[in-house]
Amino acid sequence: MEQTQKERRRLAAIMFSDMVGFSALTQADEAKALKLLAEHNAIFREALPKHEGREVKSTGDGFLLEFPSALTAVQCAIEVQQTIHDRNLIEEDKIGIRVGIHLGDVVTRDGDIFGDGVNIAARIEPLAETGGICVTSAVAQQIQNKVGRAVGQVGFKTLKNIDDPVEIFKIYMPWDQGLKRKWKKKTLLLGAVPAVVIAAAIYFFGFAGETVPPLTEAQILTKTARELVSGPAVNREHWANATDLSRQATELDPMDGVAYAVAAQIMYQMMREYRNVTPEKLEQAKTFVARSQQFAPKSVETGLAVILQMLYEEDVRTKQWLFSLRETFPDEPRIPEALAIQALVEPGELESKLADFERWREVSNGMGGSQARMLQELARFHYMESRFPEALQAVQISLKSGGLAGAIQWKLIILSTGLGDLDAAEEALQDLQGLVGETLRGDRTAFYSNIVWSWTGQHAKAIEYLENWTRPFIEQGGQAVPTDYLRGLAYERQGLDGVAQRAYEAALSAVDLRLEDLPNDPRYVTYRAILLLKTGREAEGQEVGRAAKQIWGRTHTLLDMNLGNYDEVLDAMEERIVERGEFGLLQYTEARYDPYFDPIRDDPRFIEIMKVGAEWMAEENARGDTF
């Protein structure tokens, strides 16, 4: 049969709704059920035009709806749920609905829509609570901080007829309840007390399993912020969104000490992860800690905020404060976790550090602490100490403990830049690509994926990946690499010089914008020098390069290779590799694979240095066979 309308594939936001309990009500009182359904339909159809929605079809007691964007779909769902909630406050017969929203590809045919995008939306709708809205990560990304509601992670769910697990989020509505408070019955004491006294106590003090009042909007924002950065594979967007949410919470309730404490924790953790520190950020973090101490001095969150501040400032009293905090909160697993990490950063003998770490890890494990996160901290420690087999072993154990994405990310890092096993690193990268969620949009994954592709000459893969990277920088572990600089390198190495030049110009603009706020940040001054050289401004590039070297106060390999300071690069390589200095094996692996070293590969000094590095790496790999 000839189609009346040509099939068309496009991106759309798809909403499924369902009227809760409609079938049961129909059997009990069909007339009432139909009356409520008509009212339900009217509410939806009144809201749709305001949000550019299209009614694809009715499903009997719900709708399949289509919207041009995730934002308009969620705004419509919020309006409908709010309207129904307000209506239920004054009407005896209640209406309850669930909503699921997904952003994905759909195929349009004769006014109907089909495809996996539709199937996913249909499957997540039943996961919503009555009066609630569930969305996928694709939607959550688009609406963060745009709908006046907190967005919280539910987790990965396996959906019927969908191959991979799907990451689900919920939109917090004002009526979302807090947790039930659990009270132990004091039977022996209460048995001798007159009933009227018990009744009065229940009335005035709220005993007998009362429900805590609904969370305030500030508390919901704080809870959501903490959840965003609690996973093992947190990316830059998670941190940025959590920072915004926690700050909003402090503005909504300027006397909520816990909100200040969580905001301070997030700020210190983010500064540690990205090392993007300004005096303003430091001052704000300190202010948040001080206000948490003022408004919630006895909260465990305040205690942990103080500890993070002390760790950041390398306060010698940190361990003493941690022990004190543990006495106050003996059942809090995050405290032995912090003691384990503190053991790694303290001065002392390696074996003693590792023994203390393991002792506190076991304590945290017994309390239900995050083993995956702690083992990844151990992997980080070994990696920074150039103990790559031990780092890989910690990651392998972490993979058995959960935290799959974070562990595979560290596996990618260790295998590529540490052990120089690019084949195994590619396998780890493929494992990452098989995971669902935002893992591949994480800065850490992006940074090391591009290293692997660059070092193995797979520039087309890098270009394809970077086309979907929307942020101007990839920021990982204190490094901030302009995205368009990486695009330019990939194009240049494929012989596409014209496209590469446009990418370098775009990268230069992004760097100049950052330098307006951070004029003396050596990372951005360095990239400005390199990009000036790349775009043909030789004299200016050399001048800015000299300024960058003064700020660094040492040899910077990438900068010096671009400036043509090859002797300085070789001097630094001898110090790190021949003399087995700090980060020597990392320098050896980089020099072994990175095309930037091509101009000096035939230099006799380079050849001799690399022979020494190869012997060192062989020793390291042989030592790894004992694990």
513-530 pLDDT, tens digit per residue, is 999 988 888 999 999 999
Please say if the pLDDT value at position 182 is more than 70.
Answer: no
Regarding predicted confidence, which is higher, 6 or 80? 80
Q: Does any domain span residue 543?
A: no
Q: Is residue 242 part of a domain?
A: yes
Phi and psi of 242, rounded to 5°?
-65, -40
Alpha helices in 419-482 (DSSP H): 422-433, 443-455, 459-466
Domains contained in the chain, number: 3
Percent of the chain with pLDDT strictly greater than 70 = 88
Query: According to the model, what pLDDT value does residue 7 have?
Result: 62
Q: Are residues 236 and 310 in the same domain?
A: yes
Question: Taking the CB of residue 70, how many other CB atoms lie within 10 A of it?
Answer: 25
For position 109, which CATH number holds? 3.30.70.1230
Pair (280, 421) in one structural domain? no
Residue at 272 is within a domain: yes
Boundary (domain end) residue, out of 427, 451, 468: 468
440 — pLDDT class (breaks 50, 70, 90): low
Q: Which of 287, 315, 343 is the last residue of a domain?
A: 315
Domain extent at residue 416:
398-468
Asked whether residue 308 falls in the same domain as residue 424, the answer is no
Is residue 463 one of the residues assigned to a domain?
Answer: yes
Angle, vertex CA 169, rays to CA 163 and CA 174, nearest 5: 155
DSSP letter at 164?
Answer: S
Residue 263's CATH number: 1.25.40.10
* Residue 481 is assigned to a structural domain of this protein: no
Same domain, 148 and 21: yes
Considering the domain boundaries, does residue 414 fall inside one?
yes
Question: Do 228 and 241 meet the contact criterion of CB atoms below 8 Å apart?
Answer: yes
Highest mean pLDDT among 182-191, 390-399, 453-462: 453-462
Q: Are residues 130 and 78 in the same domain?
A: yes
Same domain, 22 and 106: yes
Residues 172 and 249 placed together within one structural domain of the fold: no
Q: How confident is the model at residue 578 (pLDDT cuts 50, 70, 90)?
A: very high
Instruction: Confirm whether 173 is domain-assigned.
Output: yes
**130 and 71 together in one domain:** yes
Residue at 438 is within a domain: yes
Q: 116 and 14 in one domain?
A: yes
Q: Is the pLDDT of residue 475 over 60?
A: yes
Same domain, 160 and 80: yes
Q: Which of 288, 315, 342 is the last residue of a domain?
A: 315
Residues 231 and 281 in one domain: yes
Residue that has been written with the tokens 């850490």 in this structure:
444
Integer Cα distance of 21 and 102 in angstroms: 23
| Confidence class for position 397, pLDDT limits 50, 70, 90 | confident
State whether 130 and 56 are in the same domain. yes
Mean pLDDT of 103-118: 82
Residue 613 has a CB neighbour count (10 Å cut-off) of: 23
pLDDT at 512: 94
